[in-house]
């Protein structure tokens, strides 16, 4: 199965969940985006490494890298290989000079490690087809923002806030998804995408 390389487009705060962020991965050389909701700690860890900041004490992912280097273990690549019930699953491919092992991981942790080891991040066509969001033209280059402890601001999109996604028709959801993508509101887009996918899967059964 052919792998598709991804790059980190940015991290944005969310309004629908407390202390949650949307990690946006982009198809390298393509229009598709893969928004993934991650926790505050993982978002901090990814942002700090991307910005080349040095914390006063090593974070968990820094410790993992230090231990790996001591025992001559390298992270060759990260593969996001499954999307099931709205959850992404990843594997960290490690090599000690003799054998290669695939270690199951949360996608956020896998990405945090990939950055530290300068390892590529991949997924498969099936994942992008199922969970990816396509934009016709990228209006502006997204910036990575350092996550901070934030509270709900009450500024959620009114279309989502006032009416449950479950109450909308498929056509309305697709229209809302297009609007969210155009506004680069990737976390909101991921919620709408998951609802559309849930209905498609339910229809197949």
| Each residue's pLDDT tens digit, 41-87 | 999 899 889 888 888 888 999 999 999 999 999 999 999 999 998 89
User: Which CATH number goes with the domain that contains 107?
Assistant: 3.10.690.10
Question: Is residue 191 in some structural domain?
Answer: no
Task: Say if residue 180 is exposed, middle or buried (CB neighbours under 10 Å; 0-12, 13-18, 19+).
Answer: buried
Number of structural domains found in the chain: 1
Question: Is residue 201 in some structural domain?
Answer: no
Question: Is residue 175 in some structural domain?
Answer: no
How far is 145 from 10, CA to CA, in rounded Å? 7
Nearest alpha-carbon partner for 186 in 38, 80, 18: 38
DSSP letter at 66 equals H
Query: pLDDT tens for residues 111-121?
Result: 999 999 999 99
Question: Is residue 21 in some structural domain?
Answer: yes
Indicate yes or no: pTM above 0.75.
no
Question: Is residue 187 in some structural domain?
Answer: no
Quickly count helices (H) and strands (E) in the chain. Answer: 7, 8
What per-residue confidence (pLDDT) applies to 136? 65
Question: Is residue 92 in some structural domain?
Answer: yes
Question: Is residue 197 in some structural domain?
Answer: no
In this predicted model, which residue has the larger pLDDT, 86 or 147?
A: 86
Segments forming the whole domain that contains residue 14: 3-150
Question: Is residue 171 in some structural domain?
Answer: no
What per-residue confidence (pLDDT) applies to 187? 64
């Amino acid at each position: 199965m052919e792998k598709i390389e991804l790059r980190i487009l940015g991290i944005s705060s969310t309004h629908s969940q407390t202390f949650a962020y949307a990690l946006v991965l982009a198809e390298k050389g393509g229009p598709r985006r893969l928004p993934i909701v991650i926790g505050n700690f993982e978002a901090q860890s990814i942002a700090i490494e991307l910005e080349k900041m040095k914390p006063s004490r090593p974070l968990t992912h820094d410790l993992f890298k230090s231990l790996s280097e001591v025992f001559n273990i390298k992270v060759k690549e990260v593969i996001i290989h499954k999307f099931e019930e709205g959850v992404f699953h990843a594997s960290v491919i490690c090599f000690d000079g003799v054998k290669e092992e695939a270690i199951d991981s949360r996608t956020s942790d896998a990405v945090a490690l990939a950055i530290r080891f300068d390892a590529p991040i991949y997924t498969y066509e099936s994942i992008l087809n199922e969970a990816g969001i396509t934009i016709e033209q990228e209006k502006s280059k997204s910036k990575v923002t350092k996550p901070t402890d934030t509270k709900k601001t009450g500024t959620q999109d009114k279309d989502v806030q006032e009416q449950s996604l479950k109450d909308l028709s498929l056509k309305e959801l697709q229209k809302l998804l297009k609007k969210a993508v155009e506004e680069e509101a990737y976390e909101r887009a991921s919620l709408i995408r998951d609802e559309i996918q849930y209905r498609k899967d339910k229809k197949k059964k």
